[in-house]
Structure 1
């Protein structure tokens, strides 16, 4: 049940300066920022333990011009990062928001490292598609679960309450759209109401709501949903009821590399370092390097909706820095053979076809000919025995459309006016990927979650800070 009801006459059992719905990366970062700005903060979370889509990701956040890059000898800038985002999404995102995010994300990561002990470093041994520099920042295990755990620990260290197993159902607003608070349910029944001076929606996208997916992304209506089960579109439904503008609702992040049937994300390093994908006939079917997001639908269009990613032990060594890949190996998802004939036999695909495909790729890497799909293999090392493969399918990871926001993370109406005290970040807010899967630049999801979370938290706390300054004067 997602309702917006009149605030007049509603009594609240508890109050907060800043109330945050959702304890994923966006909500937890927002909580830290708002608390440090002097606000009393409460976070509500539907799950027993904070996780969200963040926990299912690789936990990598793109940022440009950071000290972590400088320490690794990487030259980069926010302007170059912004240009990469706009190029991938063909100019669709709000340029002002993109500029704000790319300028701010570096300082945000350094703040999280210095003030809250998150030990970020940069992935330096392979590049992600569409990025002009190596700018993916992660924690040592390279998992989203590690990121969410460290953020939760930081929030708990500041004694910010996280009310878990709280299912927000209702927003209370006046005629001008000013939010007075929320209502929700917890185990044991009964309704609890919490009032607030500012509300941040950091709850979710809508990828887990099959009806909304069928309406906005029909080509993935039957795709494997690889996001969090709580992504049921609460923010979208509340936003519609409040008269907010919804933008780029067909935008999404897919992934063409989820191990099947194991359900484990396989790093795209398996492709970007010189691997390739074949279908059940042993034939390539696309330019795999264009991006893992758009590759989801491409893989799903193959027979049985599956493909094999072919790589070698050198590439496996690079992918092994990710815990997900190590788990895939431990569960037997990675197949190995000393030659292509043995690999084809293990995969159950035609030996002559796979051998011909491998020979074609090897020739392209030597600069012989032009790939019919447009991929440039020339700088990729040749694959060497032992050869590796993993069976994958395409999946929907999270949606990129959502509530339109400005550079302060305020939720906007169609006329551009901001709702008085409503902010959005993470999956609740429109991302910077435009209206198509191909617009998704690697890391866009956590970029907007973490950076918009910090902006939303700080901006939502601004009236509290101004009040405190007024009283002190």
Structure 2
């Protein structure tokens, strides 16, 4: 991956006004917005079948003030959502970006539903940590794979040109830091140069680059990476080479509930509805309501780097709503027990420790006092037999730091000036999760991908139209 100096003798095999690198949620939404404005473009995707990190997620997009919320009498607002985001990250994110994403979240979700047929519905039943309102919007199967399918169908209907198996190797950049085009390589080794007037980086972060993870997120250097292998930090490296500003590179989304060895995501809804996590000593070790991102490091710090999610039949029935959970159940990752004694014997956990953990939950529920870790237990959510368990580990899902952008998704240099024609969104851009792993609010990843992707597509279209008008 390199920045190649552009000269007037540089020749391109083709030229398009707009190029978008990456066909995940960010790139596809950006393309839909730009096509809506009449811009000719192409999305460049390294894989044969576009999937990206979006397909590996649960596909939940937080949005405030939508008609889906109003239909279920959920009162929410962009200002409340922005406050929730900032409270979770310790007010470390760019306030203007947070406000822009919150304000545009509702209109973007409704636009995708109404204009492009994405079958969103509001996820009910529980609040994810840090959210004070029900605002997660998802497709019926609750999977990122289904969301990706809907976006790909929308892109096809909109006439978005997509070049798959087209790995971008180089950016051609002139002395004014204007991107003039890219070089792509094909699986057979052939190379093509495509010129452009604007470029959107939608190729996610650097979670798949072990060296960069070790450098920027040392606490998760040993964590299993549960993201797309193509997230090698290309956007970050290109941007740095062009003098772009980078922010919050230690920020990330981890997850403390990845079934092992099955490598299937287990929804954090289990914890929010009353479940608990214990280590191999049968002991709880944290506040499970603190957040699933920071829980990744908590789980990895336990003996053997694993934990058991303990829950009950009520929670199990609710969790069957999630396709990932059903897959884990069918794969044998989920185990059921009539008693704690049976669970202890089967899982080789100390019975006394398990009984103490459950007794403590009941005691704190009766007195409505927080436990040692600060968690408050609701009487209605106390565990009762039959019990269920699944062995999990901590994982790194994706990074949240990246290139600094303004509210138009324009990439900024280290002096705060806009680069002439470079845009970024999703994992390629600085997110709204603060500076570490504890600032991630559920849904921040797809919020930045989808909403900032829409902003990038609209902004790039406006720049191109203004340039054309001036010419």
Query: What's 2:209 paired with?
Result: 209
Counterparts of 2:203 and 2:378, CA distance in 1: 43
Matches within 5 A, 1:89-128: 89-128=89-128
Q: Is the 8 A contact 2:251 2:401 kept in 1?
A: yes
Matches within 5 A, 1:163-182: 163-182=163-182
State the match for 1:378 in structure 2.
Answer: 378
TM-score, structure 1 as length reference: 0.98
Structure 1 position 353 matched with structure 2 position 349: no
Q: How many angstroms does 1:2 deviate by?
A: 3.3
Deviation, structure 1 residue 363: 1.7
Distance 2:368 2:350 in 1: 25
**Cα deviation 1:72-100 (Å, max 9, x = unaligned):** 11110000000000000001000000000
Contact 1:249–1:400 (CA<8 Å) still a contact in 2?
yes
Match of 1:409 in 2: 409
Partner of 2:287: 287
Q: Where do residues 14-413 of structure 1 align in structure 2 (5 Å cutoff)?
A: 14-367=14-367, 369-378=369-378, 380-413=380-413
Give how far 1:314 is off.
0.9
Q: 1:139-180 CA deviation, whole Å, 9 max, x = no partner?
A: 001000111111011111122111001110100111111111
Q: What CA distance in whole angstroms lies between the structure 2 residues aligned with 1:121 and 1:370?
A: 34
* CA deviation map 1:84-141 (0-9, x unaligned): 0000000100000000000001100100001110111111111100001010000001
Distance 1:160 1:276, change over 3 A: same
Structure 1 stretches of 4+ moved >6 Å? 468-471
CA contact (8 A) 1:254 1:437 kept: yes
Shift, 1:183, TM fit? 0.4
For 1:130 and 1:424, how far apart are their aligned partners in 2?
27
Per-residue CA shift, 1:361-408, capped at 9, x if unaligned?
A: 122222265301111113552212211111000000000010000000
Kindly state the Cα deviation for residue 324 of structure 1 after the two structures are TM-superposed. 0.3
Residues 198, 464 of structure 2: 8 Å contact kept: no
- Aligned to 1:461, the other structure's residue is in SS state helix
Q: Report the CA distance between 1:320 and its aligned residue.
A: 1.5
In 2, Cα distance between equivalents of 1:380 and 1:18: 54
TM-fit CA distance, 1:306: 0.2
- Structure 2: distance between partners of 1:307 and 1:5: 51
Contact 2:6 2:180 in 1 (8 A): no
Alpha-carbon distance, 1:466 to partner? 3.6
Q: Per the alignment, in what secondary structure is the counterpart of residue 439 of structure 1? A: coil
Tell me how far 1:17 sits from its aligned partner. 1.3
TM-score normalised by the chain length of structure 2? 0.98
User: Is 2:207–2:399's contact at 8 Å kept on the other side of the alignment?
Assistant: yes
Q: What number of residue pairs does the alignment pair up?
A: 471
Gaps of 5+ in 2: none
Determine the C-alpha separation between the residues in 1 that align with 2:316 and 2:468: 55
- Does the 8 A contact of 2:369 with 2:376 survive in 1? no
Unaligned runs of 5+ in 1: none
For the 8 Å contact 1:59–1:138, the answer to whether it is kept is: yes
1:397-443 Cα shifts (integer Å, max 9, x gaps)? 00001000000000001111000000000110010001111100000
Give the deviation of 1:14 after TM superposition: 1.3
**RMSD across aligned C-alpha pairs, in angstroms?**
1.3
Q: Does the CA contact (< 8 Å) of 2:28 and 2:151 recur in 1?
A: yes
Determine if contact 1:38/1:465 at 8 Å carries over to the other structure. Answer: no
Residue 8 of structure 1 pairs with residue 8 of structure 2? yes
Q: Distance in 1 between matches of 2:212 and 2:115?
A: 39
8 Å CA contact 1:46, 1:164 repeated in 2: yes
- What's the secondary structure of 2:438's corresponding residue? helix
